[in-house]
Every structure is written in structure tokens, then in C-alpha cells.
Structure 1
């Protein structure tokens, strides 16, 4: 269990670092959006590539931030119900949810994203829009994002099981406060 917890902490740290870097992509998207709007209005210049770059950046923030959101216990839940449950019951719900739903869901996406990305990369697939961007960068983001979510789901499962077994004190699983509270460890 100690080895699994060390790996879980490594996954936590990696996902947090990647998500903090990905958060800066919001700034890049805003700059590109503003620059595109200014060039379109002031100089009648525009490009589909700038619009697609904004979409790529938004997708990157969303996909690369999902695992960090899971780590911070900030994913959407039915707080009205879960806040009334005992912490141990919430822990068991998380174990079942991660094992039966989250991990298989992320695994299916990782498995299907590999050929999705490889075909795009090998063929040099490009957006059908005039002046559009290559599509493989967006498709590798799907693979990376779901790979990170899968790893974080396994990390959360390991930590929840450790808490339920008494190998990790409650609250030290990295989730912090109550679901949706915004409080983190």
C-alpha cells in the first residue's frame, strides 16, 4: 500500500504541475482572441487559424485540467445528497464510482484516442477550413487529457481505499473539504 500511495502522490504532483501550466493557456486564448478581433475590425484581416487556435487552447485547458479538478474534489456532484452522508459512506461511493465508472470511462477514451491521433498524425490531417490548422495537436490533447484523468482516477481510488482501510488518515487523501467546498489540502 505504501508503494501505491507514493505513486499516487507522484501522479497528483504531475497532474497539478501540468494543470497549473495549462491554466496559462487561458491567457494565450484571450490574447489571440483580442488580437484576432482587433485585426478583423481595424484592418479587415482575419484567419481561421486564429479561431482554431482559440479552440485548441480551450480544449487543452479543459482536457489537461480535468485530472487536477478530480484531485481537488471539485467535479460536479449532488452536494445536497452527499453532504448529508457520513465521510465513510462518501468514501465508499467514491471507490465504487471510480472503479466502475470513471476508470473504465477514461480507459475506453485512452484506447480509442490512440488510433484517432495516429491516423491524423500519419496522414497530416488538416482542418477543412481555409487556412485551418493541422488536427493532430487537438487529437493528441484528447489522448493526453484522458491519460491524465485515468492516472488521477487510479490515484484517487488508491487514496480512498487507503483511507477506508485506515492506512491514510481521513483528509490526507488530498480531497480537502466537503465536495464542492473549494477547500483543498
Structure 2
């Protein structure tokens, strides 16, 4: 396949990314000018959460494939003495897809493991500030780094339609490598939703988070 096609595709994706950059300023505008774009911000949250939910559905499907493929590997190996590289690669790919596609929904639902030392000491406003600042200072830069760091290698992989290094492996290694930027983009969308919710809570346009903090009465866990 002509590699220039993927170069053009990458260029258009960059343009699309640049056009989407102003959306990442919406939480800051919402915070600076309460009431100005609250309705738009809430619509963004709904759309971004649906996007994370769609990715979660794919992650659940990947988990099912993982279980079935691993079961097949065990039965074939120990009952019939058979082993297939392509089947083992399905297990690897399904596990990676489950993790990378499900991470955005976990961030959206505050289900990631976190070690909170100072956060439980702050009030509701302090926790929302932590979510907002942390998203901009840590999550977004790391995701951008993931997207840009492997750009050339991913383009080459797609231009070659890179497959397994094993003769009986799956010819979809290029799709497997694509999971990395997809993971980063999904995390950025989920992080944008988190930032929007924090900004709206700080301006009183959303009720306080229902997720309680460890160490506080009346609540369950937000940190472990």
C-alpha cells in the first residue's frame, strides 16, 4: 500500500486535532465566566461520556474474547497438545484492547486506583480544583506525548500493514499499535469531561460529586 496515503491521513488528523484544541479551553471559560456557556459545557459532557461508554462496550467485548481465547489455549494445549501462535496473540491483543479501551470510562467514573493523601483533607471546592488542575498539568500533556511520540513508527506500520513476526501469527500488528494513540485520545476526552464537571461544580452549576472520599463520614471511597 502506498505510504503517502497514510502521510496524508496523518496530516488531516493533525488538522482535526488542531481544530479541536479550543474545546479544551471550555472548562476554563466555564470557570471564568459562569453562566456563559454552561449549556454547551453540559452537552459536551453528555457527548464525551457517551463516547467513553462506547469504548467501554468494546472493552467488555474484548474481555469476553480474552476469556474465550484463553480457555481455548488451555484446552488445546493440555488436552490435545496443540499450540497456535495466532490464538495466543488473540489473548494478548484482547487484553490490551480491554485495558486501553476501558481506561477512559474508568476515569470518567472515578474508578482508577488512586493514592490520596492530601485530597481527603480538602473540601468539595478543593477537590474540584485538584481534578481541574491535575487534568491540565498531568493528564493532557502525557496523552499528547503518547500521541506524538510514536507517530512515525505508526505511520510506517500502517504503510506496511505490519503483521506478526511469526509465520502463523495474526497479520494485524498495525491495528494493535494503533491502540496506543486511541488510548491517549480516549483518555483526553474523558479528562475533558472530568475538567468540565469540576468547573461546573465550582460555579455551582452541578451538584457536588456523589462519590465520597475515604476518611469522611457519609461517604464511600474516592481514594484508596
Range into which the TM-score falls when normalised by the shorter chain:
0.7 to 0.9
Q: Give the TM-score taking structure 2 as reference length.
A: 0.73
After superposing the two structures, state which structure 1 stretch, 81-90 or 27-36, moved more. 81-90
In the TM superposition, what whole-angstrom CA distance separates every residue of 1:82-107 from its partner, at most 9, and x where no partner exists? Answer: 22321111111111100111011112
Structure 1 gaps, min length 5 = none
Check conservation: 1:71, 1:156, Cα contact below 8 A.
Answer: yes
How many angstroms does 1:135 deviate by? 0.8
In the alignment, does 2:90 pair up with 1:56?
no
Question: Match of 1:120?
Answer: 157
Question: Match of 1:141?
Answer: 179
Q: Distance in 2 between matches of 1:82 and 1:28?
A: 38
After superposing the two structures, state which structure 1 stretch, 62-71 or 120-129, moved more. 120-129
In the alignment, does 2:82 pair up with 1:45?
yes
How many angstroms does 1:178 deviate by? 2.4
Check conservation: 2:211, 2:221, Cα contact below 8 A.
Answer: yes
Check conservation: 1:79, 1:179, Cα contact below 8 A.
Answer: no
Q: Tell me: CA distance 1:95–1:153, structure 2 relative to 1, closer, same or farther (3 Å).
A: same
Counterparts of 1:86-165 in structure 2, within 5 Å, are 86-133=123-170, 134-165=172-203
Secondary structure of the structure 2 residue equivalent to 1:3:
helix
Structure 2 gaps, min length 5 = 1-36, 215-219
Secondary structure of the structure 1 residue equivalent to 2:177:
helix
Q: Give the TM-score taking structure 1 as reference length.
A: 0.87
In the alignment, does 2:208 pair up with 1:170?
yes
Question: Match of 1:25?
Answer: 62
Larger Rg computed on CA atoms = 2
Give the ranges of 4+ consecutive aligned residues of structure 1 lying more than 6 Å apart after TM superposition: none
How many angstroms does 1:25 deviate by? 1.6
In the alignment, does 2:37 pair up with 1:3?
no
Q: Distance in 1 between matches of 2:164 and 2:221?
A: 38
Check conservation: 2:56, 2:102, Cα contact below 8 A.
Answer: yes
Question: Match of 2:121?
Answer: 84
How many angstroms does 1:179 deviate by? 5.1
